Amino acid sequence: MNFSDPKFLYLFLPIVLGAYLILPKKAALVVLLIASTVFLGIAQPYYLVFFLSFIIANYFLGRLIQSCRDSENYWSKLIVWGAVGINAALLLLFKLAPQFLASTTNPLVVAEVIRIPDPDPDWIFPLAFSYISFQVISYHIDIFNEITDAENNLIRFANYILFFPKMMVGPIQRYADDQDALRDPAKSLGSASAGLRRFIVGLSKKVIIADTLAVYVNAVFSFDDPTLNTSHAWLMLFAMVVQLYVDFSGYSDMAIGLAEVLGFKYRENFNYPYLATSVAEFWRRWHVSLTSWFRDYIFTPLQFAIRKQKWIPKFLPILVVFFLTGFWHGKENHYLVWGSVLGIAISIESGKFGKYLKKLPVAIQRVWTLYWILGSWVLFRSPNVSFSIGYLKNLVGIQGTVPLRAFSESRPYPIFQNSFYFSIIVGVILMFPVSQIVQKHLEGKPRLLKFASYLRDFALLLLLIYSMGLIANQGPLPGIYEKF
């Protein structure tokens, strides 16, 4: 069940919001925990016991770390390293388990033993565990570093871990950012209405634009042979880039909006990354919560550790961070190569070339950035490295003979409907801060601003109705980042 699933939109969400907003604040966290447990239970009921054990274990580990920290106990460092190691090992286990089980056992037998209904190797990965494990690791480290104290209330801690708006695709929250809202959620009509507007924007981006492009992109990147003619290869590259941005940023909008309805204020997860003038800046603007997590908990400590080791290249922490970024997305080779390529690009920028790049015209800086980003997205989206190499050959016109494909196998490609081109154009517009520009022009014009707010709400109502119609017609499509 995702945010564009009819069961979520028509049943789950109205019941949860109704109960949460009507009941007194004392019952708010209980309602949220029940809702998040039901959300998880609908998706993966067989993991409920695991998550219950996971929450209880990390709750007591956090309390233990603080107890040893406050008493300046020698064991505090050992305990925090143990807590981080256990959670990292669990993430590693679940990342590698599907491949191991698929190669050494019969998934049908395993599925029968643990009562999992769909014997697909992907079922082994717990919902959102990549995000949850990073949250818990940061929680333990922040307690040890006295950035925050351990949570004493188990219900509040469970809500921090399982809060359903961020369960699917983040953002990855730090406990210090959530603790005030967990103690006293800021419920108000103003935040609820602002959050619902943000949710509708995200839903519209996902359903109207991303899902329209997804059927084409999924078809092309599922071909056995990546060979396309050059014009179609570039067109599908742009479609894929727009789909990826609108899909993921749309989900982030929905998560941030729902959190605001429920009294939680989340930081932005995207900051118009395609305005970046370097690859490093792009990643400071894209999936901000993940990038900042790697910066604070991997890059900075590693950079500090090697600062006096002159024989170790200064760009090593960058390569390590982006290799791990690739692995966080998946164990497959194309993710690892994708992360490594980005690490190489940012390492180049961190040297003398980076200083030279900053002196060049902004247009050239953006061409440099897009060269690396667009090429890396081909690696990211391809099923394997060989497919991505073949696709990149298409872009420079050195591909082989384009095979004839039956339309029944490639549909809807290569018949591009008007909605396809419309989605690309609107998606590209959304990559720029258009709303901020409009809002700036309306400053100091109260009557015009009031009229614009009415017009905005009317447009959002139409977008919601249209999105609901599309969902009813074609069904919900999974988001790209849901599988991570």
DSSP string, 358-372: HHS-HHHHHHHHHHH
Task: State the greatest distance between any 2 C-alpha atoms of the chain, in Å, as a whole number.
Answer: 72
- Angle at CA 7, nearest 5°, toward 169 and 214? 50
The helix (run of H) or strand (run of E) holding residue 439 is helix 434-442
* Torsion angles phi and psi, residue 283, rounded to 5: -80, -10
Please say whether the beta carbons of 395 and 237 come within 8 A: yes
Residue 25 DSSP one-character state? G
Please say whether the beta carbons of 140 and 69 come within 8 A: no
Give the integer Cα–Cα distance in Å for 421 and 118.
36
**Would you state the structure tokens that stand for residue 123, as one six-digit string?**
């079922």
Give the integer Cα–Cα distance in Å for 257 and 192.
8
Give the integer Cα–Cα distance in Å for 394 and 372.
16
Catalytic residue numbers, as ranges:
329
Give the integer Cα–Cα distance in Å for 359 and 346.
17
